[in-house]
Amino acid sequence: MRKLLLFTTLMLLLAGFAAAQGGRERTIGGRGAAPGGANASSAAPGPQIAHKIRSWQLLDLGTRADSLAPDTLSTGFQVHSPAYRAAVANVQLGNLGAPWMPAMVSELPVSRGFLFTESLGGFFKGPEEWRWYNTTTPYTNLYYQNGGPKRRSEEVVGILFTQNINRFWNVGFQYDLISSIGRYDAQKSDSRHFRFFSSHTGKRYELHSAYVYNKTDHLENGGVMDEDYVLNPDDYDFGREENIPVQFYTASNRTDNHQLYLNQALDIGNLTVSRRDGESAVLPVGTAIHTLHIDRRRRVHRMDDLGRYFGGEGDDFYQHIYVDTERTFDRVYETSIQNSLQLKFNEEANALLHFGLRGFVTNEVERLRYPALGYIEEDGERLPVMLEGDTTLTSTLVGGQVFKNLGEHFRWNAGARFYFQGYRSGDTELTGALSSSFGLGRDTAGVEAYGGMYLNAPGFFEERYFSNHFAWEERFDKVQTLKVGGAVKLPGRRLSLSAEGRIINDYVFWNEEALPEQTSTVLSVFELQLFKHFSGAGFNSRNTVLYQMSSHQGLLPLPEWAIYSSNYYENVLFKVLHFQLGFDLRYNSLWFAPAYMPATGQFHVQNERQVGDYPFVDVFLNMQLKRARIFVKLDHVTQGLTSNQYFHTAFYPANPRGLRFGVSWNFYD
């Protein structure tokens, strides 16, 4: 109730502030300002101001602005889970805010960053995933979601506010909260994201800056004690799901993240270019760009009553306790400071060859602090103690790219980067992509292709780590990856087909003991994804079918089939209320989904328990009334209808049936 009251108060304050600022006339500027955006008419007295919102992401190390449409559609609004929004197939723990990872070839990471947030990627986003804005009037979006029952509720709160100070300068902030008690015991999670951002998109100078704070804090129950409690609930007297015994009740993981980002671009030189209509334009020859990104992360795994679970009989959840049999407190820090200098020759000024060129150099300094084993003498005994290790790593790379990003029908790029100094010395990436569109009957067909060759050193913590329960010291070779993919899209027919294949040598995986291991076996994986949208007389069926192959399921497991089908009837009531009434179906074939290890936060292979071959169905109602979107849905209506095999992975069942609703409300003044 307090969170709902806070949300309502903030909504009223922001709405009042936005309304008070709405009288200032604003225009759109900057390289992110591409045609399109959200428009609404003003009801304020006097001259009307068109409400326009334009947003973009910075790609290619901050050198290219990719325009994005504001999220105002009802279609898909009912998909509340970050895991399902990101990937058709995934492995997760079920609870909002809990770790998850995609189980799709196209979503597999080529290289890894900070090891201990790998399964929390939905919360720890990097600069290329942030949105920047330019608005003619202040823009506010308020989001609230709640899932029951009340005693085990899940709540999501989102606030976005942005406005222009003048035609070039925009400021704003974003706050997101996920607070979930969890349907099973010891699942409580609290995840927060805050970003303050500002951008100045002038004629010759541009600046994008942001401060970001992320936090995830969740209990780790280790899964249910016995899967039979879920598979055959009538044989037991637990009653509610939260009474089912779990492995741990006080184990937790907390991760804090601070980021500071600064991207500056200055146009240099002038060149007069003739246009086809006989006019001429003065364009910059090139752009000099500097990017600073400071990223600090701290991860703590703790369990204060470890002695309660450790019996020393060899069948404990943790097979090893290296230092303290009463308490686990593993703490890891990583601070990364990355500086990039780039020089880009703009394709707009290259009237002869019609392509652009950029070169860059990047230096990264990483400071790592982590648990280390030490010993003390006490009463003539040599006893182990936990100390703190400290390592500083540096890496420097050079790279370049040739590109053609302008034009409607044909675009391409080819690039390379090479680490010539430091910890990652010898790492190499060669990449390329192209896209084309052409008329096909009454439709316009789009074709895309991309590929890359990668040689990457494993991360520091993949090779060495010590904690109260896990310890390893390895020397791995660089991982070699060849990636090729493409897609064919027919927007008029609402049909697309995409594919990706990879060949991986010296792959590093997490084995059945939840330890890193490198295999000399060459792995090959393949993904084929088909999307088709059928519609008629108000009925819609949006279908995604995913087919995958893995040459070694015991090393890199993937579900062979995954299906997502959203079926609904849509119409308009009273000429103002647009609605969609239907159901979502999710299904994947049987597979050995990776198990989860709380102490390291890693998903690892297991070959004892298959999950899948179970239909998850949600019934939903989406409504849109002017600037407000609302959904109401009943999750997991198939619970117990065919079986109780609703496990995401071993010992982690999906949430049982429950009612959920959400609302998103836009304010443009």
Tens of pLDDT, residues 404-451? 988 878 999 999 999 999 999 999 999 999 999 988 877 889 999 999
pLDDT recorded at residue 14: 39
DSSP 146-200: EES-GGG-EEEEEEEEEEESSSSEEEEEEEEEEEE--SSTT--EEEEEEEEEEEE
**Rounded to an integer, what distance in angstroms lies between the CA atom of residue 408 and that of residue 544?**
27
Residue 295 has which token pair? 């990223």
Nearest Cα to 216, choosing from 189, 184, 194? Answer: 189
pTM (predicted TM-score): 0.89
pLDDT recorded at residue 495: 96
Single-letter code of the amino acid located at 21 = Q
What sign does the dihedral 75-79-82-86 (CA atoms) show? Answer: negative
C-alpha torsion angle, residues 8, 14, 17, 23 (rounded to 10) = -120
**End-to-end Cα, the chain, rounded Å:** 28
Tens of pLDDT, residues 220-245? 999 999 999 999 999 999 989 999 99
Residue 415 has which token pair? 């690039």
> Hey, is 592 helix, strand or coil?
coil
Nearest Cα to 468, choosing from 348, 338, 599? Answer: 599
Topology of domain 2-38+51-235+242-667 in CATH is Maltoporin; Chain A (2.40.170)
- The contacts of residue 474 (CB under 8 Å, 6+ apart) are 462, 463, 464, 516, 518
Nearest Cα to 422, choosing from 393, 399, 391? Answer: 393
- Quote the Cα angle for 310-315-318, to 5°: 55
Start-end of H helices in 214-364? 228-231
Neighbouring C-beta atoms of residue 416, cutoff 10 Å: 15
Q: Tokens 């009273």 belong to which residue?
A: 574
Residue 176 has which token pair? 């997101």
pLDDT recorded at residue 72: 75
pLDDT recorded at residue 298: 97
Residue 55 has which token pair? 């947003």
pLDDT recorded at residue 5: 41
Q: If you ran DSSP here, which 8-state letter would residue 278 be given?
A: S
Single-letter code of the amino acid located at 170 = N
**Rounded to an integer, what distance in angstroms lies between the CA atom of residue 542 and that of residue 50?**
34
pLDDT recorded at residue 184: 96
Residue 624 has which token pair? 């849109």
Q: Give every residue of the chain whose pLDDT is below 50, as ranges.
A: 1-44
Please state, rounded to an integer, the average pLDDT across all residues of the chain. Answer: 89
**Rounded to an integer, what distance in angstroms lies between the CA atom of residue 109 and that of residue 122?**
14
